[in-house]
């Protein structure tokens, strides 16, 4: 009976909680409140809003020539990324022209003649900024337009689909009116003021050429477009860029790199991997623009243009270099040239001997990069200039040969101990040598090749070689001789350690040949055809294993050991006895030197990926026959030298 009573009670309890409409409503309200609380994250706080910076800024006219007292056609910007909140320009625009700080549009009436000048426009918002370069010149006479081009010179549109506005860019004088012939396909419109093509095609149209003419009072220019209208979406057929391999300069806005697309129009563009910092891809137009901020070696970037029917892709190679900067360092204790500069294991620099205003010296000094100071150290037993200095694996420095006056050479050698700051004699070479080369080999020995000296009234150019062994402090003559005696040549150990590439130098006349000297003393050198190097040669081995050699002409030569072949590049200036330094990032700095008309303060930087030279920042003082040392922080110390005023006291430090 008790069990029956409990069962009946449970049934009544269940029946009393059968959900009715009001009960369900209450339950839903509770669930809504619970979900709302979860959505708030439980802390009642607001998430931070991140503003996307502007990117890919460019102008319709990147190079304009205006006429005084004539209103200009507004020059409008375009950009990707976040919306710009303000625009600025530097330097100030020519008188009468203004930049709208909210829209970035350049308008006005030029009031005075102004030379061609690059103006940098900056678009900013809370997230960052983007820059573009515009060249403007103002003349008293009108200039005809030039360089008319469209973003999409060959394109296929689709019936019933709105097209992306195809707008032109131009240079020269501003275009006041546009015309097109023949008439565009049905549904497309042509703006006679801007040259832009817009609209929605309404009928299929066969591919045809359309000539756009941009004109002003001074003349006109034309561009040809190829347009077709198809019934269905067509995938992009091919994609390329106006500059497929680009070398940019850090902190300088680039000329926008525009895509050239055939086949169907792209709905969007993408790139992988991410572009160098400061550069961006406009995902609507495919234009690469911006201002790179960081030096980097050449890298490949894959750009894909897509629409719903398919895609096309291409690769763009981009490297970023820099011009670097110079600062003054502590001046020399005694100004000199033809000295030797050696970076010691601890990061300090040893300057040994050289030629001063009083003649050849045995004085030596130590530069401390941290204190930016020079202090005297132990003097050489034999004063010398134009000798060689080699830092040995044990940290000591071997100085060998050199001139003791004019073309009179010495065979003596000395060792510098950085711990004691003193020199000690070591065995002398078999013969006196000036402007020879000394190459540290993999086994720690030093290979000395060639050089010259004077005996009586005769200058003797050497074709011999000697090997110094630090373990025994002795020299041994090699049986292998140069095919052609040389002095003022360069000698570079190849990456595999098997041979030294000897380039240029002077024998009885100029040695324009090159040869491989075997470090194993096999008896014969191997001629290397095609070098054509001038007399005074300097060389460095690049990270790739190739050897870059320069002489007193403006042609640099790159040797590839894998193919035993040469590739040339043209320097920005002809230089005799500049400094030449391999930078830690793989580029090569060449500074100063002598040229027709005097010594140079200018510099240039070799970019191995592109095999090209970029103008670098100039030193404050012209100099030739200076010394250089790569410091442990990657900067370069350029020391002394001489110019038309005599010996140079000044020392300068280059930061890449």
Per the model's pLDDT, the better-predicted residue between 48 and 93 turns out to be 93
Residue 465 lies in a domain: no
Tell me the pLDDT band of 313, cut-offs 50, 70 and 90.
Answer: very high
pTM comes to 0.69
Last residue of a domain, which of 110, 139, 168?
A: 139
Look at residue 182 and give its three-state secondary structure. Answer: coil
- Residues 654, 584 within the same domain: yes
> pLDDT, tens digit, for every residue of 168-189?
988 899 898 999 999 999 999 9
- Residues 611, 628 within the same domain: yes
> pLDDT, tens digit, for every residue of 492-548?
999 999 999 999 987 655 677 899 999 999 999 999 987 766 678 999 999 999 999
CA dihedral 585, 557, 576, 626 (to 10 degrees): 30
Residue 503, pLDDT score? 94
Per the model's pLDDT, the better-predicted residue between 10 and 432 turns out to be 432
Residue 592, pLDDT score? 98
Residue 96 lies in a domain: yes
**Residue 639 maps to which CATH number?**
2.120.10.80
Which residues constitute the domain of residue 251? 245-255+268-321
| 283-302 mean pLDDT | 97
Q: CA 430 → CA 368, 407, 437, 643, distances in Å? A: 35, 17, 15, 35
> pLDDT, tens digit, for every residue of 380-438?
999 999 999 999 999 999 999 999 988 899 999 999 999 999 999 999 999 999 999 99
Query: What is the Cα–Cα distance from 172 to 211, expressed in whole angstroms?
Result: 19
- Residues 303, 332 within the same domain: no
| 448-472 mean pLDDT | 92
- Residues 127, 187 within the same domain: no
- Residues 219, 175 within the same domain: yes
- Lowest mean pLDDT, pick from 26-40, 101-115, 136-150: 26-40
Tell me the pLDDT band of 91, cut-offs 50, 70 and 90.
Answer: very high
Residue 404 lies in a domain: no
Q: How many CB atoms lie within 10 A of CB 126?
A: 11
What is the percent of the chain with per-residue pLDDT over 70, rounded to a whole number? Answer: 91
Residue 312, pLDDT score? 98
Residue 456, pLDDT score? 72
Residue 395 lies in a domain: no
Residue 353 lies in a domain: no
**Residue 122 maps to which CATH number?**
2.60.40.10
- Residues 213, 251 within the same domain: no
> pLDDT, tens digit, for every residue of 128-142?
999 999 999 999 988
> pLDDT, tens digit, for every residue of 344-386?
999 999 999 999 999 999 999 999 999 999 999 999 999 999 9
Residue 505, pLDDT score? 87
Residue 26, pLDDT score? 36
Residue 240 lies in a domain: no
Check whether 9 has a pLDDT greater than 80.
Answer: no
Last residue of a domain, which of 100, 115, 139?
A: 139
- Residues contacting 534, CB < 8 A, separation 6+: 504, 510, 512, 551, 552, 553
Residue 533, pLDDT score? 61
Residue 295 lies in a domain: yes
Last residue of a domain, which of 303, 321, 339?
A: 321
| 484-490 mean pLDDT | 93
Residue 76 lies in a domain: yes
Q: How many domains does the chain have?
A: 4
Contact 562, 578 (CB under 8 A): no
What is the percent of the chain with per-residue pLDDT over 90, rounded to a whole number? Answer: 81
Residue 563, pLDDT score? 96
The average confidence (pLDDT) of the chain is 91
- Residues 108, 124 within the same domain: yes
- Residues 315, 339 within the same domain: no
Determine if the peptide bond prior to 273 is cis (ω within 30°).
Answer: yes
């Amino acid at each position: 009976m008790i069990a029956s009573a409990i069962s009946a009670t449970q049934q009544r309890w269940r029946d009393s909680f059968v959900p009715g409409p009001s009960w369900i409503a209450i339950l839903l309200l509770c669930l809504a409140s619970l979900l709302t609380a979860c959505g708030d994250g439980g802390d009642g706080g607001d998430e931070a809003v991140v503003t996307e910076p502007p990117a890919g800024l460019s102008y319709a006219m990147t190079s304009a020539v205006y006429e005084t007292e004539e209103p200009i056609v507004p020059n409008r910007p375009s950009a990707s990324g976040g919306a710009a909140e303000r625009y600025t320009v530097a330097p100030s625009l020519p008188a009468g022209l203004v930049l709208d700080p909210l829209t970035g549009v350049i308008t006005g009436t030029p009031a005075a003649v102004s030379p061609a000048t690059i103006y940098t426009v900056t678009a900013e918002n809370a997230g960052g900024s983007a820059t573009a370069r515009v060249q403007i010149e103002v003349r008293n006479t009108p200039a005809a337009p030039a360089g008319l081009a469209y973003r999409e010179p060959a394109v296929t549109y689709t019936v019933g689909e709105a097209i992306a506005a195809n707008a032109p860019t131009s240079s020269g004088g501003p275009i006041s009116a546009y015309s097109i012939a023949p008439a565009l396909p049905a549904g497309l419109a042509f703006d006679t003021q801007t040259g832009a093509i817009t609209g929605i095609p309404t009928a299929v149209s066969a591919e045809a050429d359309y000539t756009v003419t941009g004109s002003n009072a001074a003349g006109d220019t034309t561009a040809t477009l190829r347009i077709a209208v198809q019934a269905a979406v067509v995938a992009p057929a091919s994609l390329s860029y106006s500059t497929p391999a680009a070398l940019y300069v850090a902190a300088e806005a680039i000329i926008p790199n525009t895509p050239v697309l055939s086949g169907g129009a792209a709905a969007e563009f993408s790139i992988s991997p991410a572009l160098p910092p400061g550069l961006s891809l406009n995902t609507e137009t495919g234009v690469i623009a911006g201002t790179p901020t960081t030096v980097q070696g050449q890298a490949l970037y894959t750009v894909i243009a897509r629409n719903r029917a398919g895609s096309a892709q291409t690769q763009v190679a981009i490297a970023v270099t820099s011009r670097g900067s110079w600062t003054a360092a502590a001046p020399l204790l005694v100004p000199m040239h033809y000295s030797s500069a050696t970076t010691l294991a601890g990061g300090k620099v040893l300057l040994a001997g050289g030629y001063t205003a009083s003649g050849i010296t045995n004085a030596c000094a130590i530069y401390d990069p941290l204190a930016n100071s020079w202090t005297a150290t132990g003097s050489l037993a034999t004063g010398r200039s134009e000798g060689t200095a080699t830092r040995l694996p044990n940290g000591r420095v071997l100085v060998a040969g050199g001139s003791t006056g004019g073309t009179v050479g010495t065979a003596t050698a000395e060792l510098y101990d950085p711990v004691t700051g003193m020199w000690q004699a070591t065995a002398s070479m078999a013969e006196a040598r000036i402007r020879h080369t000394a190459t540290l080999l993999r086994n720690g020995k030093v290979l000395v090749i060639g050089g010259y000296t004077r005996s009586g009234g005769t200058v003797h150019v050497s074709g011999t070689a000697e090997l110094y062994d630090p373990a025994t402090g002795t020299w041994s003559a090699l049986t292998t001789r140069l095919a052609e005696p040389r002095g003022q040549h360069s000698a570079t150990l190849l990456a595999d350690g098997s041979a030294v590439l000897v380039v240029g130098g002077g024998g009885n006349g100029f040695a324009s040949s090159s040869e491989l000297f075997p470090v194993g003393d096999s008896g014969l050198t191997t001629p290397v055809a095609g070098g054509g190097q001038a007399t005074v040669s300097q060389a460095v081995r690049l990270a790739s294993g190739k050897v870059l050699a320069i002489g007193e002409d403006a042609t640099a030569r790159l040797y590839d050991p894998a193919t035993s072949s040469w590739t040339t590049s043209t320097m920005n200036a002809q230089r005799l006895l500049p400094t030449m330094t391999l930078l830690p990032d793989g580029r090569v700095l060449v500074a100063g030197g002598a040229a027709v008309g005097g010594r140079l303060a200018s510099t240039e930087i070799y970019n191995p990926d592109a095999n090209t030279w970029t103008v670098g920042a100039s030193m404050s003082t012209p100099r030739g026959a200076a010394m250089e040392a790569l410091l442990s922080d990657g900067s370069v110390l350029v020391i002394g030298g001489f110019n038309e005023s005599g010996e140079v006291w000044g020392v300068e430090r280059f930061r890449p």
